[in-house]
Structure 1
Amino acid sequence: MDDDLTLPADTMAILNEFLAERAQREQEEEQRIVNKTGKDAHFEEDWQLSQFWYSESTKVSIGKVVATLLTEAGATDFRIALLSCPSLYATIKDIHGNVNIFEYDQRFGAYGTDFVHYDFNAADEDYLQNYHNSYDLVIADPPFLSEECISKMSVIIRNLQRTSESKVIFCSGEVVEKWLTACLPVRKCQFQPEHERNLGNEFVSYANFNLDHYVVNK
């Protein structure tokens, strides 16, 4: 029996046409993402990386908070860092151009120079040194509800803050409160971020400023 299987010429032509069309669609989609800074991005959640996208209402609420903070700051060099919350990127980018998305997931490299690859496991006082003391607002959503993750994320946040007065919004499970407040000067807020999918853990927000005032008065 001949082990070399060859498809008929007409079948090969159809297959090659299909593959070429698929490659073209993927290339065009990636280019749209880069050109329009995330508006057309439709990345699927990767549960292996503990990714859960925010609901539309939560994105709108946080976006309005950011817009108010920007107005109050009145600074053209105001910089925003998003740590492990990629579903916020398009919303925040529409409001302010100076934003970096810190993500382990390399898919978000489609956002070009806004993307910074990082791994919270590598956190120490020298990690991401090129970005130290650079951000006026840090929004973080750690991938895991563990003391180690919260501790290492806190190190990164402290280093990214431009000054000790830089704003921090930290979204995570209620179970992390004792670890988080031991690492960062934040307190639990009434604002409860929601997700497109219901999560089993009680999800809350923490901040080093009166976040609820901005949410209520948005």
Structure 2
Amino acid sequence: MCESDDDVPQLSSEALAALQEFYIEQQQKEDIKTTERSNNYSLGSIEENWQLSQFWIACVSAPSIYQKLKEQNSNEFSTCILEYDKRFSAYGAEYIFYDYNDPLNLPTNLTAHSFDIVLADPPYLSEECLRKTAQTIKYLTKGKILLCTGSIMEEHAAKYLGVKMCKFIPKHTQNLANEFRCYVNYDSGLDSNSVS
């Protein structure tokens, strides 16, 4: 049975704004003290039946995006963070330890295709890292993927995840050696002229 695009979950304007703000304020990713002070963004235990929630977002190796989404304090979506750095366990049950080298070593409550959208920022600009992270992403997502990585990864991103580079160019406060880009596999609005 074919569902119309109207039935497919979309990021709300608030969530999209939060993602854009993340790129403008990348400095927060480096400020672990801010992360430790934001325990008030933890919602407590994640329900075991992930299928019953309205709109689930998984942030894979993207703690700053997770933080920005939590700052929205929205009941339109629920989030979790899959991250190697155990300091982010301050987020409680929404934190899931994740090592891209063991991409499918996930808790049993993370069932296949349980997230409406998966946002990922693999930790290294390498084919191996992206290939392994892609295994996790494909396992978790119901279909929608937003990948943040270097422009040099465009060919691998298309090969492993079927995503295309957006016109939207995220900005970093850090001077990155490689151009950073967003890739999606759905109509995200990140290609429109109104997004900058």
Same fold at TM > 0.5: yes
User: Which of these two proteins has the greater Rg computed from alpha carbons?
Assistant: 1
- Look up the match of 1:152: 132
Q: Which runs of 5+ in 1 are unaligned?
A: 1-28, 39-74
Q: Equivalent residue of 1:158, what SS?
A: helix
The answer to which structure has the higher helix fraction is 1
Q: Provide the rounded CA distance (Å) in 2 between the counterparts of 1:100 and 1:94.
A: 13
Is 1:111 paired with 2:91? yes
Is 1:120 paired with 2:72? no
Is this contact kept in 2: 1:81–1:137, CA < 8 A? yes
Cα root mean square deviation, aligned: 2.5
Is this contact kept in 1: 2:89–2:95, CA < 8 A? yes
Deviation by residue 1:121-158 (Cα, 9 ceiling, x = unmatched): 0024x655531211001111111011100101111000
Q: TM-score, normalised by structure 2?
A: 0.68
Check 1:215–1:167 CA distance in 2 against 1; reply closer, same or farther (3 A cut).
farther
- Look up the match of 2:14: none
Q: TM-score, normalised by structure 1?
A: 0.61
Alignment of 1:124-203 (within 5 A): 124=104, 127-131=106-110, 132-161=112-141, 163=142, 166-203=143-180
Deviation by residue 1:38-80 (Cα, 9 ceiling, x = unmatched): 9xxxxxxxxxxxxxxxxxxxxxxxxxxxxxxxxxxxx961000
Q: Find 1:37's aligned residue among 34, 42, 48.
A: 42
Q: Which runs of 5+ in 2 are unaligned?
A: 1-34, 44-51
Check 1:90–1:213 CA distance in 2 against 1; reply closer, same or farther (3 A cut).
closer
Identity score, percent: 38
The answer to which structure has the higher strand fraction is 2
- Look up the match of 2:19: none
- Look up the match of 1:4: none
